[in-house]
């Protein structure tokens, strides 16, 4: 019989301990909706009404593992932009500053890169996210090492010290899964351009709503983990591909043009379209970014753009949202895009300079809702474009694609009813799981709960063929599907 001495056992245990780094390959996550609940409450108290929840849900999703590096900041910008329309509500602004510093989920226990573009609102200058304690603070997602682009916050001249800290938590990283808003009500002192930790002055200012669109105005941020603001057109799309939203399709463009965010939305769309015009399929991108490339919808997967052609007579373009601050990326006609931008009061056409060229440059996904195509398990009869909050018209329900859009939404909803958090999925898929918006990361669904009284559902688009995934009320979803002529309710079975 082989006998092990105490010394040998100790040696084996020590060797096991030295091998512990293998255990670092774990996902560090959180309940993301908790990060925005205080802000949404403050927004409702300030009179933000229906504008609050879409921004909050979008913001929560920017903390997911595959969101763009600047998506969290973009959502914080949207929070502050709305606060400024509500008498510069100080509580909303402070909570937005804290949200901008909330650690993001890590897919593999590595630190998450920082945004390298300036925020739109100066109130966010000098703020950057903390890291979770369980992350390796010397290695970053994407294989980056300290000192490389994305590993030092904008405005700092050296690595963050203490590693993993942020102005709201200057002593170090945050406990795994912990919400900053639960441990502090003070956003801290913004960092300076000459320091490695918290300082007393602001860093450079700018005007950007996405990591790749430095001139955009107020915009909701990406909510997609390696997914798009749009999806394949035609019946060969391989998977569900969308972003979340709680805003449904609006019924009046005149309402949007009179809202406080309409003009900035139009100008943001123009700025994005101008940026899109410089992109090619070989342009560098960050996973989670979505764009228009040579008139096609583009998704960045594995640091490369994968493009999906729009339908005949259509082009990819950024459009202004109508019910909340932000933009969406969609396949539509150039005339339709120009009309939607003009309805906000923005001048200069598609790009703001009078150009009508199709958009084709990179941008972070800024849609608050996006079109989807069914996954292989769903019916393959529906095509999709990346439309969000498109203004409904009386003719939309009688258009040739309306019935098929309604039926496609029903089939997706029926498929979603069979899913659970443990269902297998492919990276880039998005769905509804138990009433929550779900994104597939590393082969597993990560869910973001919808706001109270709402549920996740697939809805038919109104101005083009396809569907979208959104948080809405069941009654609203039923009504939108019924308006297409499809019968049988949400899933087609009732």
Q: What is the pLDDT at residue 355? A: 62
Residue 371 pairs with which residues in a beta bridge? 468
Residue pair 475/490 in contact (Cβ under 8 Å)? The answer is no
Q: What is the pLDDT of residues 303-318, one digit of tens each?
A: 788 777 777 778 888 8
Q: Which of 145, 28, 52, 42 is nearest to 94 (CA)?
A: 42
- Whether the pLDDT of residue 227 is over 60: the answer is no
Tell me what percent of the residues of the chain surpass a pLDDT of 70: 70
Angle ∠(54,60,63) on CA atoms, nearest 5: 145
CA distances from 386 to 211, 227, 232, 298, 371 (A): 19, 11, 9, 10, 4
- Two tokens, residue 87: 């008498």
- Two tokens, residue 289: 């970014």
d(CA 375, CA 381): 11
Question: For the residues 17-29, what does the mean pLDDT come to?
Answer: 50
DSSP of 117-147: S--SSGGGTT-----BTTSEEEEETTTEEBT
Q: What is the pLDDT of residues 190-222, one digit of tens each?
A: 886 544 444 333 333 333 333 333 222 233 333
Contacts of 391 (CB under 8 A, 6+ apart): 249, 250, 251, 252, 253, 256, 322, 340, 343, 462, 463
Residue with tokens 């005949």: 312
d(CA 368, CA 69): 17
Residue pair 356/274 in contact (Cβ under 8 Å)? The answer is no
Residue 397: pLDDT band (50, 70, 90) is very low
Q: For the whole model, what pTM was predicted?
A: 0.45
- Whether the pLDDT of residue 479 is over 50: the answer is yes
Q: Pick the more confident residue, 34 or 361.
A: 34
d(CA 279, CA 364): 13
> In the sheet that 144-145 helps form, which strands lie side by side, from edge to edge?
110-111, 136-140, 144-145
Tell me what the pLDDT averaged over the chain comes to. 72
- Whether the pLDDT of residue 265 is over 90: the answer is no
Burial class (CB in 10 A: 0-12, 13-18, 19+), 342: middle
Lowest mean pLDDT among 7-21, 74-88, 187-201, 324-338: 7-21
């Amino acid at each position: 019989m082989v006998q092990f001495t105490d010394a040998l056992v100790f040696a084996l245990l020590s060797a096991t301990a030295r091998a512990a780094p293998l255990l670092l390959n774990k996902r560090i996550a959180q309940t993301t909706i908790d990060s925005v609940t205080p802000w949404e409450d403050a927004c409702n108290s300030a009179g933000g009404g229906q504008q609050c929840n879409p921004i909050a849900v979008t913001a929560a999703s920017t903390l997911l593992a595959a969101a763009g590096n600047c998506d969290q900041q973009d959502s914080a910008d949207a929070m502050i932009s709305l606060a400024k329309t509500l008498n510069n509500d100080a509580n909303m602004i402070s909570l937005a500053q804290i949200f901008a510093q909330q650690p993001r989920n890590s897919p593999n226990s590595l630190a998450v890169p920082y945004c390298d573009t300036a925020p739109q609102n100066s109130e966010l200058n000098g703020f950057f996210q903390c890291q979770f304690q369980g992350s390796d603070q010397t290695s970053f997602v994407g294989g980056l090492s300290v000192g490389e682009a994305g590993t030092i916050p904008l405005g700092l001249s050296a690595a963050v010290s203490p590693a993993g800290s942020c102005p709201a938590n200057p002593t170090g990283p945050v406990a795994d899964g912990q919400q900053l808003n639960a441990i502090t009500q003070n956003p801290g002192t913004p960092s300076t351009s000459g320091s490695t930790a918290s300082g007393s002055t602001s860093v450079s200012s700018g005007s950007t709503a996405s990591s790749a669109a430095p001139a955009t105005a107020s915009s909701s941020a990406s909510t997609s983990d390696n997914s798009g603001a749009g999806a394949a057109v035609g019946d060969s799309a391989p998977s569900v591909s969308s972003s979340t939203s709680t805003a449904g399709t609006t019924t009046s463009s005149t309402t949007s043009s009179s809202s406080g965010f309409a003009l900035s939305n139009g100008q943001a769309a123009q700025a994005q379209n101008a940026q899109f015009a410089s992109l090619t399929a070989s342009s560098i991108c960050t996973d989670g970014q979505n764009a228009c490339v040579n008139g096609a919808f583009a998704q960045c997967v594995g640091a490369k753009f994968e493009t999906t052609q729009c339908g005949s007579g259509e082009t990819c373009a950024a459009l202004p949202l109508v019910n909340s601050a932000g933009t969406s990326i969609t396949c539509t006609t150039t005339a339709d895009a120009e009309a939607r931008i003009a309805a906000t009061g923005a001048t200069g056409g598609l790009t703001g300079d009078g150009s009508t060229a199709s958009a084709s440059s990179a941008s972070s996904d800024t849609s608050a809702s996006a079109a989807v195509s069914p996954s292989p398990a769903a019916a393959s009869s529906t095509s999709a474009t990346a439309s969000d909050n498109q203004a409904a018209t009386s003719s939309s329900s009688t258009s040739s694609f309306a019935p098929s859009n309604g039926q496609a939404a029903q089939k997706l909803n029926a498929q979603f009813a069979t899913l659970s958090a443990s269902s297998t999925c492919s990276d880039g898929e998005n769905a509804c799981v138990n009433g929550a918006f779900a994104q597939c990361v590393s082969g597993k669904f990560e869910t973001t709960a919808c706001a109270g009284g709402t549920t996740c559902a697939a809805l038919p688009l109104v101005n083009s063929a396809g569907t979208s995934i959104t948080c809405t009320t069941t009654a609203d979803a039923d009504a939108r599907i019924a308006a297409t002529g499809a019968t049988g309710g949400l899933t087609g079975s009732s």
